Amino acid sequence: MIPIRKILVFLTDMVKQAVNTSFDLFKITVPIIIVTRILKQAGLIDHIGFILAPVMELVGLPGNMGLVWATALITNLYGGMIVFASLAPVEELTVAQVTVLSTMMLVAHSLPVELRIAQKAGPRIRVIFIIRLLGALAIGALLNTCYQVTNYLQIPNKAIWNPSPPPEDWFRWTVGELRNLGYIFLIILSLIIIMRILEKIKVTALLTRLLEPLLKLLGMSKNAAPITIIGMTMGIGYGGGLLIQESKSGRLHQKDIFFSFALMGLCHSMVEDTLLMMVIGGHLSGIFWFRIGFALFITFLLVKWVNRVSPEFFNRYLFRRSV
């Protein structure tokens, strides 16, 4: 039997983490929610949707969903979820469409923070930016095509968290948004607890063992594999931090660091972020399986290409000598 005291200490620690994470998130996203509301009431959301429509049409999404992705790009997945909650109820999206949007968000989000981490380890920031942005658009277009051709998941989306359309008056809207922020806090708390449990029962260790042979097939060094897998399973904050240290120590080849960040950029935090996108209706076929396959294939092509370019080209355009 686990002592009640240990359970209480565990839960208290989880709540503290959730409060700190939520506070940092809400400082960024609450102003975005208010601005989105003002834009919507002024009729400007439709104009923004019109501007973003050509890009969103490539992936089979309404133009308004471009605002959701743009928010995730600048802030994080939670920020994108909050804007999604404001706009999605009136769009009547299918499971396929939400999966496409979710997968794009998973590939490209939190770019100001995560690109800076990559830059500190050595890869050129513009290259990683292009890989992630174009990678998100490419995977979105491919997924949309697959779902359209096979007629798969062409049913109305029924998310775990599926808020009602926002009311018109400001008071009821404020109450509704506070309720949504409360749900986000509970989602964050639940994910923190689930991640801790998964670590305890060795699920992340199992993913590590399954992925290591695949990374070797890509042509990546065996020394880079463990750190890359940490980033893929736990997130760029973990894997990227370790790669920064390896870059400073000189123990890893510069190409291995570049390949590792490219792969982690396209597919990271496979457990936590996947669960998060399932909350809004993302299907595992896209947000997990297709994302892994896509990331491994693109990294395979990058490894083949980078190994053919000259050292001068690599150091001038892809990687900085001093970090």
* pLDDT value at residue 192: 75
Indicate the pLDDT class of residue 115, thresholds 50, 70 and 90: confident
What is the tens place of the pLDDT at every residue in 42-73? 766 666 667 778 889 899 999 889 888 988 88
Of the listed ranges 161-175, 244-258, 298-312, the least confidently predicted one is 161-175
Average of per-residue pLDDT across 155-184: 77
Average of per-residue pLDDT across 20-32: 72
What is the tens place of the pLDDT at every residue in 278-292? 989 999 999 999 999
d(CA 143, CA 60): 10
Above 90 in pLDDT, residue 186?
no
Mapping DSSP to helix (H, G, I), strand (E, B) and coil, where does residue 228 land?
A: helix
User: For residue 157, what are the CA distances in angstroms to 7, 148, 200, 281?
Assistant: 36, 15, 33, 6
Of the listed ranges 7-16, 289-298, 305-314, the least confidently predicted one is 7-16
Across 32-36, 98-102, 171-175, 316-320, which has the greatest mean pLDDT?
A: 98-102
Indicate the pLDDT class of residue 9, thresholds 50, 70 and 90: confident
d(CA 74, CA 82): 13
* pLDDT value at residue 16: 85
Above 80 in pLDDT, residue 83?
yes
* pLDDT value at residue 20: 79
Higher pLDDT, 221 or 129: 129
Q: Is-contact 144 280, C-beta < 8 A? A: no
